[in-house]
A and B are shown apart, each in its own frame.
Chain A
Amino acid sequence: MLCDNCKKNEACIHITQISGNNKIDKYLCEECAAQYGEFLTHPQAEVQPEVFSVNDFLSGLFHNTAGAKSAEETGKMPGDEEYACPSCGMTYMDFANSGKIGCSVCYKTFRNKLEPLLRRLHGSSKHTGKIPRRAGKTLNMQQELDVLRKQIQQCVDNEEYEKAAQLRDCIRRLEKEIKGE
């Protein structure tokens, strides 16, 4: 049997912790048991051993989200849990277990499933910060388009039709480029 905590070493110590009506059973390897003991006996230690990580916590949220969904949609999407990301081979269950995303494509692959969690973490916010010049090329062009469209409106208002025509050509060129991608 492997250690409950690190899942690497053979478990050799069995800890039963009873508090109130709760009983926790843990099978740990020597190393993790030592850490666990330190945590219980020296809460003032200089460096607190990590009992659970952010990702463990998130994975709990993933699980809950998955549970709520599957109750509603039982039978609708059979084998959905097994659906793997075409790029890195990660499945939704892998997420639920590790709380970590596998690769950049996963965000697209599991977009629908991730949405509820992302909304909880970030609200319905949209990225407004720095944009990489290459990967965010389309976004950069779109922002440029917005600026040009505003300018063209201004030119029309000021009856500067020659300038407006130039801007219109620019906009058409950009629109073509975006479509071409």
Chain B
Amino acid sequence: MLLQNIFTDDNVAWMDGNGPDSDIVLASRIRLARNFQDIPFPNRASAAQLTEVKTRIIDILDDIATLTNNNYICIDMEKLTDIQRRVLIEKHFISNKFVKHIECRSLILSTDSNIGIMINEEDHMRIQCMGSGLDINTLLKTAFLIDDAIEKKYDIAFDDSMGYLTSCPTNLGTGLRVSVLLHLPGLVMTNQIAKIVNISPQLGLAVRGMFGTNAPGNLFYISNQLSLGFNEKELVENLTRTVQEIAAHEHEARKAILSYNEDKMHDRSWRALGVLKYARSLSIRELLSLSSNVRIGIDEKIIDGIDPTVFNRLIVAGRANYLTNLQEKESISQRELDKKRADISRKIICDSSIGK
């Protein structure tokens, strides 16, 4: 992967449509928050101290590369344009918080783009591992490899009862956040999603829409809320089991819709594909909702001849900052944006058609 491609590729490796349960689980991600014991957390650290953090990680990058069998590049936030930083946020390589102060903030990214370390975000290190489908245990193993390599060389902020010490007290303990991206059109159409959202806190989990509360595109994140009191395995197990349960209900809901109103479902999917194929202007909401309808059509064998990952690619390629950056501009008008979005959707649909 070339550095430039991070900004222009319309797919991301950890959402390539592979992996267990990938018809419903688009991607999994885990994050470990870690700090060095002898340096104040980034919000209290001087520029020299922040640079020291970065140097320490760069120093052991070769070890990490060998252990994880991956190569890494270091991207300094200061060297990027504003729009490039926003593309990285859209693609979930970095967080919003990461670019609030950009001095000495760097992203270490593996060349397959599945592993990232945010340096000097809220904590000194945010180790992130991403993967397609529902395969959290593998991600956790990789993250631990990196964590072990770091702690072999340096003292990590830790307390016997509070666990790993973090800048924000909500992350204390394991410093672990597991989150999974789900496509749940069946549960939305049958009005079942509220039940899932409501029961989740009792399981220590939070469910939220990927694009806000209305969840256009029927995309939801589910993540653990507790980080202390349970070990990493228990946290991962709890989330995995819950996601499998949700996926089972999603399958049932789809079956119910199909047996109850098959014609309407067929019409909805084919109609959505038609619009995506020929539209000349699309808002992000429209794009998400249409591509969700196409995806459920592909999943339920209503539509054939199109690769299911068309949905994954459209989610990435339809985003405002990604499209703006493609025009090599800092900003473009809404009208222009909607036009470019329709252009790229037609192209992606065309590319994903099999046997034409």
Contact = CB atoms under 8 A, between A and B. Distances in A.
A-side interface mostly: loop
Interface residues of B, number: 51
Contacts of A151: none
A176 interface: no
A132 B173 CA distance: 12
A132 B167 contact: no
B23 to A, nearest CB: 26
Interface string A118-139: 1001110111111111111011
Interface of B: 35, 37, 39-41, 43-44, 96-97, 122, 144, 147-148, 151-152, 154-170, 172-174, 176, 211-212, 214, 226-232, 235, 284-285, 319-320
A55 interface: yes
A139 B160 contact: yes
A108 B37 CA distance: 12
Contacts of B172: 118, 121-122, 127
Contact of A127 (B144, B173, B211): B173
29 contacts: A44-B214, A46-B284, A46-B319, A50-B96, A54-B170, A88-B41, A100-B122, A103-B40, A104-B157, A104-B165, A114-B169, A121-B169, A121-B170, A121-B172, A122-B172, A122-B173, A122-B227, A122-B228, A122-B229, A127-B173, A127-B229, A129-B173, A129-B174, A130-B144, A130-B231, A131-B158, A132-B156, A132-B164, A133-B151
Contact of B151 (A44, A99, A132, A138): A132
Contacts of B285: 44, 46
A59 B263 CA distance: 54
Nearest to A90: B44
A117 interface: yes
B168 A101 contact: yes
B115 to A, nearest CB: 18
A148 to B, nearest CB: 18
The 8 A-B pairs at the shortest CB distance, nearest first, are namely A125-B229, A127-B163, A104-B157, A103-B40, A129-B174, A88-B40, A129-B231, A135-B158
